[in-house]
Structure 1
Amino acid sequence: MESTTDIFKDFQEYLNADHDLREEIRSVVRSLEQTAREIQTALQAIHQPSYLSNLTSLCEQASTHFDTVRQHYSALASKIPEGQYYRYNDHWKFGTQRLVYLSALLVYLKEERLASREETATTLGVKTNREEGFHLDLDDYLMGLLSLTSELSRLAMNSVTAGDYSKPLRISRFIGELDSGFRLLNLKNDSLRKRFDGLKYDVKRCEEVVYDLTIRGLVSREEKTE
């Protein structure tokens, strides 16, 4: 029969192993978050008045970093014991939401459409089904989209400064469609619900930009209904 001391030694070995694994995960996550910062830094140039002529090169520059992102997620996936994804996912959860937003922003800048969850997961190098192991949670995907709306509402205002009066109209329609889509969901996650409540302010900001452009005669009624 094991003594009490032996039992607690086993506990300590387990705790030590768990601590070491978490440190390894944190190391990869720090690298992942650094790459996300580099992507965001590259994309901040879209808010400069001269971005219109450089949009393609900006997107290409930011896109190259996703090769590194996929490598980081591959490293994370190799460290997570089978069936224990949710035990450790708090380490990379917020970084993943940020990368979802950045990936979706790139798709919008290139094609002015919504990136699907499956497409985003492929960009990040992860799965969509939890049964397959390391995957993109639906909640994290939705949180990333809500961050996208904030960035696009900012872009709508800065586009006016850059002399692009049609882009705010298209952004306003896009965010309005996202808002309608989110309203179809019965959100259970408190943090997701709280973040969704802020979407109405992004919708309002875009509507105000479009209204101001219309009043000033900088866009036609035909453009508004296209």
Structure 2
Amino acid sequence: MSRELDRVRVVLVEPQEPMNLGAVARAMRNFGLFRLYVVNPPSRVGPPWAREAYWLAVHAEEVLDRAVAVTRLEEALEGVHLVVATTGRPRELYPAPVVPAWEVPRHVLASRGEVALVFGRETFGLTNEELELAHLIGTIPAAPEQPSLNLAQAVVIFAYEIFQAALKEGWAAAAGPVGAGEELAEVSALEGFFQDLGRYILEIGFTDEKRFPYAMRRLRRIFHKARLTPGEVQMLRGLLHQSRYHMGKRDGQP
């Protein structure tokens, strides 16, 4: 089980408080997660990580010692095949399927390759642009009077759900109908496809600049539901490129 948990990384985007970083490290250690990435942390957080972080990282100092600081979310997602972004904020349209925390393990355990659990800022979470990098969006249902959770609380809930699924059912059994050992396309390949698709729908007049963000969020959601493999992404990009080539020939372009 530990070998499978090793492919799960926790990504914190711009955490504001050192003690929250330490509390997250402890929550990860409680449930077998060790790989922590921190995106663009303020100087008071680190690196080097503030001593206040170590105060709360009880028996989890190793998680902080091994934590990787990067400047952009895309860097933290390099080599990742499944991105689960978390949010507690209602949006008009999510760019990926939305599931409660207890359904996330089915998708995590069913996939092959690297998995990233992405958590946003304490103040306002993840931006729409950051959510667009996710294949799946996890939520934690809470009382409407107080729906937001502390950063470490959110991490511990998702970590607990994944750990318990692996512990009780085993990774293969927990996969269920979502898929068994799927090799999903990496984030970088998917983003290349979405860039091609975005140019294409503008060129053919499917949408205009004003409606483009909404159209792309809906298209992202559709393709994320399909759980594209590397070969499927390559095929779709080839289809777009060939279509654009023939449109150019039809219009007399070289």
* TM-score under structure 2 length normalisation: 0.25
Higher relative contact order (CA 8 A, sep 6+): 2
Give TM-score scaled by structure 1 length.
0.27
Give the helix-richer structure, 1 or 2. Answer: 1
